[in-house]
Structure 1
Amino acid sequence: MEININRLMSDIEAYSQYGLGSNGGVTRPSFSEADYTVRDVFKTQLEEMGLEVTIDPIANIWGKLQGSRANNEAIIVGSHLDTVPNGGKFDGALGVLVAKEIVQTLIDHKVKLKHDLEIVSFTAEESNEFNYSTMGSRAFAGKFKEAELIDAVDSKGIKLSDAVKKAGGDISKIEKLPNKNIAAYLELHIEQGRKLEKEDLSIGIVDNIVGVYRDKVIVEGVANHSGTTIMEERQDALVAASEMVVSVQKHAKKVNSDAVATVGKLEVFPNATNVVPGRVEFMLEIRSANKIERELLIKDIQQSFKDISEAHNVKLSFINRLNHQECSFDKQLIEAMKDVAESLGHPYIVIPSMAGHDAMHMADITKAAMLFVKSANGISHNPKEFTDSEDIRKGANTLLQSLIKIDKELTLTEMHESSVDI
């Protein structure tokens, strides 16, 4: 039994049309019109497949295929449908569409799992205007309080609660997310790096995800006339922020490891040609698989920011937006994927993920694992993002057979544990 690769590739192409730009990039951030449209398309297709479709309070989309046992645990497979601005058509969407294809393949072959099988498309996995990435999976894992989100607004003044409501959710109920009896969570994703390509391999089995830390940094100077304010009297927020950006790169390069630090978003106020910038806001992101290393890098960078702010006589403040610790995936699921890959004749390597994914939050509440497929040239978050159909076919079939194996093994484990209790 194999997935239908032609059907899957057709789905990938069809979904890429929602938010498609003139240069081939896909712009479908969460709560954009393109996102709302693709959500409706996805829900309709799940219903047409005969799945039980629900939307939870944070607007995650769920589609359930009933298993053979009553009051059953669920195995969940999914990812996200939102994209970064001018991104690619594979990041996130591939994992959701592979999950959909796997369910359709099981239906086509009249295969019924013992566990319920649920597809999920998580809300706002990517960074977004509300500055809460992996929003859907974090909420599902119980990591948000209503008070944290209820008053959040984007740059246009749109309230997050209104955006979620339009998508079918309700933030006022976020602390009452329905309890699901979960056996395991599986996610397929493009690698977004070159490790698989360098090894000429289609698939990688992910054993852990690095820790990710994000601060919103606010630099406040004094806005003033650019012609009448002499240089020595300026409190230029942008000059100070620019030195901070350079400092981030300087400190990250000192660390002799895979640790990375980035300033990828910066806003200048009032952003006028003839006004000395009075305020700058930017996002600082630091990633490392080593907690001690990551915390030292955070400390060093923040101290350099304080030194720079004092030198330029500007105010400095930090608002933490994310501090997710590194996570390790479930060994039983990893071994199942290894066995399947070997039985299918698909060579693989076991690799970490330098990017954050919904799976890292799901790993806090259930057994979880990830499978990577090769990314051409390691390019992602870019219109040139590409994964070959043959690599997708191997990855999707590995995930399909892993799902079937895990369904059996988890059931056997439960039966064994029950007999011991008796």
Structure 2
Amino acid sequence: MKININRLMSAIESYATYGQVEGCGVTRPSFSKADYQVRNLFIQELKDLGMTVTVDAIANIWGTLPGTGEKEKPIVMGSHLDTVPNGGKYDGALGVLVAKEIIETLREYEVTLAHPLQIVSFTAEEANEFNFSTMGSRTLSRRLHAEELRGASDKTGTTLEAAVKKAGGDLSKIDAGQQNAMAAYFELHIEQGSKLENQNLSVGIVDSIVGIYRDLVTVEGQQNHSGTTVMKNRKDALVAAGEMVAEVQKLAIALDSDTVATIGKFEVFPNAANIIPGRVDFTLEVRSADKTERDALIRRIHDSFHSIQEKHEVNLTIVNSYNMQECDFDKELINFLEEAATEMGIPYAVLPSMAGHDAMNLAAMTKSVMVFVKSINGISHSPQEFSLPEDIEKSANVLLNALLKADQTL
């Protein structure tokens, strides 16, 4: 039994039209117009497959295909349909569409699993204007609560509560519901790196995800006239923030390891040619599989920020917005994937993920695992993001056959 790769590639191209900007990739952040449109499309397609569709309190979309009744807890597959600005067509959406294709394949072959089979599209996996990455899966796993979410709003003043309601959710019901009982969770995703390509492999079996730490940093100086304020009297927030950016790069490089640190979002106020910047907001992110090294680097970065603050006589505010610890995936599910790949004669690598995914939150709830598809040139979060159809087909078929093993064994 194999998936229909032509049907799958057609679905990928179809979904990529939602939020597509000519020459600029796909921009479909959660709660955007394109996101609401693609949600409606996905819901209708699940219904057309004969699935029961529900939208939970945080607006995650669930489709359920009944099993034989022999086993009660569902096996779940999924990922997310939102994208970063100016992103690609594969990140997130591929996992959801492969899951949908697997369901179509099972129906074509008239195979009914012993377990119920569910597909989920999680809300707001990507970083967003509400500052809650992996929002849907974190809420599902009780790592985010209603009281944290209710006060959030974006720059336009739209509240998260209103955005979720428009998507069919209801923040008031988040803490009242029960956690979903699952037998297992599988997520397929592009690698977003070059390890598979460097080994000329199509398929990666992910055994862990690194820890991810993120701060919102504000540097406040003194806004003033750029022509009349002499250099020695300035309290330039941008100059101080610029030194902080350089220090992050220096400290991370000095480790000479796989630990990485990034200033990924940077905003200057009031951002005018003839005004000394009075405030700068930026994000600091540190990722590592080594908690000790990650925590030590964060301390060194914070210490350097405070030294720069004193040097330039500016105010500094650091607020942690995300601190996800590293996680290991389930060894039994990893074995199912390895057995499936071996039986199909498909070479694979077992590797960690340097990117965060919804699966790291599901791992706190149930047996979880991920499958990676080779990314050409390791590019992601870019219009140049690309995976070959033959690599997608191999990875999807490994997932399908591992799913069948899990259904028999769990």
Matched, 1:408 2:408: yes
Alignment of 1:242-391 (within 5 A): 242-391=242-391
CA distance in 1, matches of 2:232, 2:252: 31
Matched, 1:26 2:29: no
Q: Amino acid of the residue matched to residue 202 of structure 1?
A: S
The answer to whether the 8 Å contact 1:74/1:180 transfers is no
Tell me how many residue pairs correspond in the alignment. Answer: 410
User: How far 1:201 moved relative to its partner?
Assistant: 0.5
Q: Amino acid of the residue matched to residue 16 of structure 2?
A: S
The answer to whether the 8 Å contact 1:196/1:374 transfers is yes
Alignment of 1:6-155 (within 5 A): 6-69=6-69, 72-155=72-155
3-state secondary structure, aligned to 2:183 = strand
CA distance in 2, matches of 1:102, 1:7: 11
User: How far 1:177 moved relative to its partner?
Assistant: 3.4
User: How far 1:24 moved relative to its partner?
Assistant: 4.8
* Percent of aligned pairs sharing the same letter: 60
Select between 68-77 and 9-18 the one with higher mean Cα deviation.
68-77
Matched, 1:207 2:207: yes
CA deviation string 1:186-235 (max 9, x = no partner): 00000001111011110010000000000000111111111222111111
CA distance in 2, matches of 1:177, 1:375: 38
The answer to whether the 8 Å contact 1:56/1:177 transfers is no
- Partner residue, 2:176: 176
The answer to whether the 8 Å contact 2:71/2:114 transfers is no
Q: Amino acid of the residue matched to residue 81 of structure 2?
A: L
Q: Amino acid of the residue matched to residue 249 of structure 1?
A: Q
TM-score for both structures, normalised by structure 2? 0.99
**Structure 1 residue runs of 4 or more that deviate by more than 3 Å after TM superposition:** none
User: How far 1:275 moved relative to its partner?
Assistant: 1.4
CA distance in 2, matches of 1:108, 1:179: 32
Q: Amino acid of the residue matched to residue 20 of structure 2?
A: L
Q: Tell me, which stretches of 5 or more residues in structure 1 are unaligned?
A: 411-422
3-state secondary structure, aligned to 2:29 = coil
Q: Tell me, which stretches of 5 or more residues in structure 2 are unaligned?
A: none
TM-score for both structures, normalised by structure 1? 0.96
User: How far 1:151 moved relative to its partner?
Assistant: 1.1
- Partner residue, 2:397: 397
CA RMSD of aligned residues (A): 0.9
3-state secondary structure, aligned to 1:13 = helix
The answer to whether the 8 Å contact 1:215/1:321 transfers is yes
The answer to whether the 8 Å contact 1:144/1:175 transfers is no
User: How far 1:178 moved relative to its partner?
Assistant: 4.0
